Amino acid sequence: MITAPSGCGKGTLRRRLLASDPDIVFCPSVTTRPPRPGEQDGVDYFFLSREEFVSMRDRQELIEWASVYGNLYGTPGKPIEEALSRGLDVILEKDVQGARTLRSVYPEGVFIFVLPPSREELRKRILGRGTETEEERRLRLDCAEMEMSDLSAYDYVIINSDIDRATERLSAIVAGERARSKRRTAHGG
């Protein structure tokens, strides 16, 4: 489970991890936010209308959902359960509130927070992005500050100052956690 403020490169990290590890699948969220250039439906997110989102939610198909920056985001439960039952590891990207709910649903999950190299760099990345309005960018920056203020609920923190090193660290965490759970199984808990 990866959380990172906007502009910290979690999408890039996720794509790199997926490319290097066939035993991990990404389960995209559903969202009512319009796609950004380059984003693909079913790959980055499932892009839904508000009506479609609300009816999924009302059918109890979402493990959790939240309103973030004025759009709705949610976690469909079925794809996660299907992947886990096939023995795959699942990667999810959520905000802090989503991570908190998922921790209660999957207490064995591994929760990773990705940090920008500095607050100044984060400002540059968020405010320099051309895909949102000025107001949205300000809101994202404020939320990022808030999200970074409490990292105690996370198992790992990765500082993304260099994407190659950050990817290496993420892979190392995955490898370490796999070894740990095997050891637990081997020793009966």
Binding site for ligand 5GP (CB under 6 A): 6, 29, 33, 64, 66, 68, 73-75, 93-95, 97-98
Determine the 3-state secondary structure of 19 from DSSP.
Answer: helix
Smallest separation, CB 126 to ligand 5GP (Å) = 10
Nearer to ligand 5GP, 66 or 173 (CB): 66
Do 156 and 112 form a contact (C-beta atoms < 8 A)?
Answer: yes
CB of residue 165 to ligand 5GP, shortest distance in Å: 22
Give the closest residue to 62 by CA, choosing from 108, 30, 33.
30
Q: Of 85, 83, 88, 92, which is closest to residue 110 (Cα–Cα)? A: 92
Q: Assess contact for 11 and 44: CB atoms under 8 A.
A: yes
CB of 187 to ligand 5GP, least distance (A): 35
Cβ closest to ligand 5GP, residue 68 vs residue 91: 68
Distance of closest approach, residue 169 Cβ to ligand 5GP, in angstroms:
19
What angle, 0 to 180 degrees and rounded to 10, lies between the N-to-C axes of helices 10-20 and 163-186?
60
Q: Which is nearer to ligand 5GP, 113 or 167 (CB)?
A: 113
Nearer to ligand 5GP, 157 or 179 (CB): 157
| Structure-derived torsion over alpha carbons of residues 97, 157, 142, 37, reported in degrees to the nearest 10 | -90
User: Rounded to the nearest whole angstrom, what is the least distance from the CB of residue 183 to ligand 5GP in the complex?
Assistant: 31
Q: Which is nearer to ligand 5GP, 70 or 87 (CB)?
A: 70
- Nearest CB to ligand 5GP, comparing residues 74 and 169: 74
Minimum gap (Å) between residue 188 Cβ and ligand 5GP: 35
Beta bridge partners of 159: 115
Place of tokens 């997926």: 18
Residues near 181 by Cβ (< 8 Å), separated by ≥ 6?
108
